[in-house]
Structure 1
């Protein structure tokens, strides 16, 4: 009825448990922060900053309070935004130049198309008059 668990399955289970614990720890931190901002109270520290997990005589400390600084990430997002805006403006300028170069050809083609269309309509009118 029960089968022995294979080593890759154990690794997969342990990895899943660590991911679950990480998600829970991050979620608790986010909830604490949100509650502190909503109630306008200073952030309360957790009574224990770390949880120590013991697996097969190995002690694995898991941090419960994770501090992140997004200033470097914000710096790179700002640089990326500036590059994006500069590229967008240069692409707009290039598209305008292409339009200025191709506009006479497009207008000439449209003029010829109008003439051909009028001629076709006139021929159709003549054929219709002949058959009446």
Structure 2
């Protein structure tokens, strides 16, 4: 009924638990940051900077608080966004100018098409009357 757990299965279970704990730690850190941002309260410091996990005589430090500096990335994303907005406005302006130039020709073509369609329908009505 009960079987002995194989070493590879133990490794797989330990790896899964380690990944789960890492995801939980990162999630808690993100939630704390968001709550501090939403409530405009300063972040609370932990008493320890990291937790040390010991598995089979291996010491694995797990950082509790990870600090990142995204100012350079934010700068480049802001520049990219502004370039995108500028290009979009210039494309809109060029498309509007192009439409102003092409609009009379399109209106003339549509007017001609309507007139020819009307003439064709009139001719078809005459042919139908002749054959009745």
TM-score computed with the length of structure 2 as normaliser: 0.71
Size of the aligned set, in residue pairs, is: 130
Pick closer, same or farther for the CA change 1:36–1:119 going to 2, 3 Å. closer
Counterpart in the other structure of 1:51: 51
CA distance in structure 2 between the aligned counterparts of 1:34 and 1:106, rounded to whole angstroms: 54
What per-residue deviation string (whole Å, max 9, x for no partner) do you get for residues 66-93 of structure 1? Answer: 2233322321221111011111022213
Counterpart in the other structure of 1:78: 78
Q: Which runs of 5+ in 1 are unaligned?
A: none
**Which one has more relative contact order, counting CA pairs under 8 Å at least 6 apart?**
1
Residue 101 of structure 1, CA deviation: 4.2
Counterpart in the other structure of 2:22: 22
Counterpart in the other structure of 2:106: 106
What per-residue deviation string (whole Å, max 9, x for no partner) do you get for residues 88-122 of structure 1? Answer: 02221332343244334323321221121111121
Residue 3 of structure 1, CA deviation: 7.5
Pick closer, same or farther for the CA change 1:90–1:17 going to 2, 3 Å. farther
Pick closer, same or farther for the CA change 1:122–1:66 going to 2, 3 Å. same
Counterpart in the other structure of 2:118: 118
CA distance in structure 1 between the aligned counterparts of 2:25 and 2:105, rounded to whole angstroms: 64
SS in 1 for 2:119: helix
What per-residue deviation string (whole Å, max 9, x for no partner) do you get for residues 28-82 of structure 1? Answer: 2233345556776543322322111223322221100122333223212211110
CA distance in structure 2 between the aligned counterparts of 1:18 and 1:55, rounded to whole angstroms: 11
